Amino acid sequence: MHELLQQIFSGLVAGAVYASLALALVMIYRATDLVNFAQGEMAMFSTYIAWTLVNAGLPFWGAFIITLLVSFLGGMAIERVVIRPIENAPVLAAVVVTIGLLLIFNSLAGWIYTYTVKDFPSPFPDRPLFGALTTTRDLGVIGVTLVMLALLFAFFRFTKTGLAMRAAAQNPDSARLCGIRVKRLLAIGWGLAAAIGAIAGILVAPILFLDPNMMSGVLVYAFAGALLGGIASPLGAVVGGLIVGVTENLVGTYLIASQLKLTVAFALIILVLVLRPNGLFGTAIVRRV
């Protein structure tokens, strides 16, 4: 029984890790109607920026804020430089560009920071809780993910920018006719996604340890979570991420061997795409023609 609870708890923590990156994927999808394969590597790179600042002697939260700002501007710059020129190109071009970005950020981080594993400080204290079932640090990760979810949900539901962003992504022409500045919103979308990714990276680095490949494994699980919940829904991404985290632990421990954990994630992606293409919480987007 104790083991089952432990597996569920460590699954929830892993799930929160996936969910935090999945939120960034949802953000970019909502804002630009694109899937960004470089989201994980951008988050990893932001985390290195935070690591550099902390090592330079800045207090944790100071480094945190600066990293978010730098990531926001960096995300906007990426949109301006490499995404906007292919705005009207087929979707495949954007996919290839984001995969290119993935490789660039990975190699760049390796070149600048080397591949040696680095310790990253956690803002939360590290104490065992509930008879060593989990730690305060792990609960902190789950907590921050839920706060991010609430903020994102509110942003898209209640703010003018959020609503305009949804409109701009789904129907740029009509949005433009309504007076929405589509191009600026696309850039802001990239900036926000990069900032959310930075939070995700800073959040998970104390758990996974920081190295250039920190996010490459996480990205696959984050995709599985986002697709499971519905890639257009922040709530779906978080619930999906948590389900993936717990499922892979339970299935990997009790049903099949642990070497098939990644396979479970891929099987979930395929299953969802076949049975419920919009995910558990997603709704089909209907466009009026």
Partner 1 sequence: MTMKRALMAGLSAAGLILAGGLAFAAGQYGPGASDTEIKIGNTMPYSGPASSYGVVGKSEAAYFAMINDKGGINGRKIKFISRDDSYSPPKTVEAVRKLVEEDQVLLLFSTLGTPPNTAIWNYLNDNKVPQLFVASGADKWNDPKHHPWTMGWLPTYQTEGRIYGRYILKNLPNAKIAVLYQNDDFGKDYLIGLRDGLGDDKAGKMIVATQTYETTDPTVDSQIVALQASGADVLMTVAIPKFAAQAIRKVYDIGWKPTHFLCSVSNSVGATLRPAGLEKSVGIISAAYEKDPTDPQWQDTPEYKNWLAWMKTYNTAGNVADGLTVSAYSFAQTMVAVLKASGDNLTRENVMRQAASMHDLKLPMLLPGITLSTSANDFAPIKQMQLEKFDGATWKLFGAVISGR
Nearer to partner 1, 198 or 208 (CB): 208
- Cα-based distances in Å from 26 to 19, 122, 172, 229, 279: 10, 25, 18, 10, 12
Q: What tokens were used for 16? A: 């929160």
Nearer to partner 1, 155 or 266 (CB): 266
User: Taking a C-beta distance cutoff of 8 angstroms, is the pair 264, 38 a contact?
Assistant: no
Write the burial class of residue 160 (CB in 10 Å: 0-12 exposed, 13-18 middle, 19+ buried): exposed
Q: Looking at the chain, how many residues does it have?
A: 289
Q: What tokens were used for 100? A: 């290119």
Stretch of 30-38, 139-147, 211-219, 224-232 lying at the interface with partner 1 (CB under 8 A): 211-219
Q: Which of 217, 277, 283, 285 binds partner 1 (CB under 8 A)?
A: 217
Nearer to partner 1, 53 or 208 (CB): 208
Task: Please tell me whether residue 202 binds partner 1 under the rule CB under 8 A.
Answer: no
Stretch of 4-12, 47-55, 76-84, 177-185 lying at the interface with partner 1 (CB under 8 A): 4-12
User: Taking a C-beta distance cutoff of 8 angstroms, is the pair 64, 262 a contact?
Assistant: no
Find the shortest distance in angstroms from Cβ 268 to partner 1.
15
Residues 84-123 that bind partner 1 (CB under 8 A): 110, 114-119
φ and ψ at 89, to 5 degrees? -75, 160
Q: What tokens were used for 102? A: 């993935």
| Residues at the contact surface with partner 1, assessed by CB under 8 A | 2-3, 6-7, 10-11, 13-14, 17-18, 110, 114-119, 128, 131-132, 135, 204, 207-209, 211, 216-218, 220-221, 248-249, 252-253, 257-259, 261-262
